[in-house]
Amino acid sequence: MTDRIPPSGLPLASHAPGKAILFGEHAVVFGKTAVVLALDMGTDLEISGLRGTGSGTYNGSERAARANPYLQTSLLAHPPPQPLDLRCRSQLPRASGLGSSAAFTAGLMTALLGMEGGAERTTLALESFRAERQAQGVGSPVDTSAAVAGGVLSVGARAPGDKLWELPAEDGRPAWHVARLPDPGWTWVVGFTGVPKDTATVVRRVGERVKAPDGPRLLEQIDSLALQGCDALRAGDRAAVGRLMNENQRQLVELGISHPRLDDLMRSVEKLAVGAKITGAGGGGSIIVLPCPGDELRVGQAISHAGGVPFVVKVAARGASVQPLTGGPQPPGTGGRRA
């Protein structure tokens, strides 16, 4: 990807999309393959400069600015020329598995690099990953890559597709490659349980789980399934993608990341879906559903009846962007719709 983040003065507006993981969450932390979709629902920031030497404000509050770890790690890495006033509007529920932290971090980092005179998108990918990882303590670059690149991506030590960038891993693990896959153009439905998940806790628990004798085998199986998923997406084979989602779901249950509310939502869409699975860390959070064609709204209603919050979504082709704010009303975000 050759496009650059343009230079931008203050005030400015930035946008970054959320994401849903289609295959390979958790295993990707160990360098296995994952497939992620950037979603047409995301986070909008409006940033202006403040006079003086304070630490800046987040939605009008200095305390909220100090308490936001993603804001703090980003500002530390790329200090702005003056304190900032940050206003955030997001369509992504927090701790839902839909990439709200990554969209916030990538949107903010786009703005900070824009203020520094611009940067390659590869640099934005690296800096967003570092800031999110530092704030979270664990994790892979799946979420931040989707927020930075948009579209459909594969991530992992092998990552089939058109190569975008490579990001370093720690502890002697292989680097993560990030590549672009084609978007088949389908409509998906996401169902949020309303139960916030804690990524770091679940990732650490899975780290313990895969130390069991069958752990390495399970990770290899998830990797092989995600690679088949890449082929199925490239072929635009909806039935194969759905079948692989269902298989991946069984693997995720074996990893121990389900939750009674996730099980409820999964049951509610069983008869209407080509495929369905947990998306993200699990232990709460969301499911992603590939509906039978034409059944998108019925899937949304089923999720709603089961007590979840449905979103009918498509893939967002564009990643994080920044533009100067010229005053007057801003166009609303590109809009995931509540079903």
Q: Does 280 bind ligand PMV (CB under 6 A)?
A: yes
Q: For residue 226, give the nearest of 146, 159, 174, 171 by alpha carbon.
A: 159
Q: Does 29 bind ligand PMV (CB under 6 A)?
A: yes
How many helices (H) and strands (E) are present in the chain, helices listed first? 10, 15
Backbone angles phi, psi at 207, to 5 degrees: -55, -40
Least distance in Å: CB of 189 to ligand PMV? 17
Q: Does 124 bind ligand PMV (CB under 6 A)?
A: no
Where b means 16+ CB within 10 Å and e means fewer, 106-144 reads bbbbbbbbbbbeebebbbbbbbbbbbbbbbbeebbbbbb
CA dist 207 and 212 (Å) reads: 10
Paired sense of beta strands 57-58 and 84-90, if any: parallel
DSSP bridge pairs for 291: 273
Site string for ligand PMV, 281-300 (x = CB under 6 A): x---x---------------
Q: Which stretch binds ligand PMV (CB under 6 A): 55-63, 109-117, 134-142, 259-267?
A: 134-142
Q: Which stretch binds ligand PMV (CB under 6 A): 112-120, 145-153, 278-286, 324-332?
A: 278-286
Site string for ligand PMV, 142-161 (x = CB under 6 A): xx------------------
Residues 165-224 that bind ligand PMV (CB under 6 A): 197, 199, 203
Q: Does 140 bind ligand PMV (CB under 6 A)?
A: yes
CB 143 within 8 A of CB 99: yes
Q: Does 229 bind ligand PMV (CB under 6 A)?
A: no
Q: Does 139 bind ligand PMV (CB under 6 A)?
A: yes
Q: For residue 145, give the nearest of 118, 169, 166, 171 by alpha carbon.
A: 166
Q: Does 28 bind ligand PMV (CB under 6 A)?
A: yes
Q: Under the rule (CB under 6 A), what is the footprint of ligand PMV?
A: 21, 25-26, 28-29, 97, 99, 139-140, 142-143, 197, 199, 203, 280-281, 285
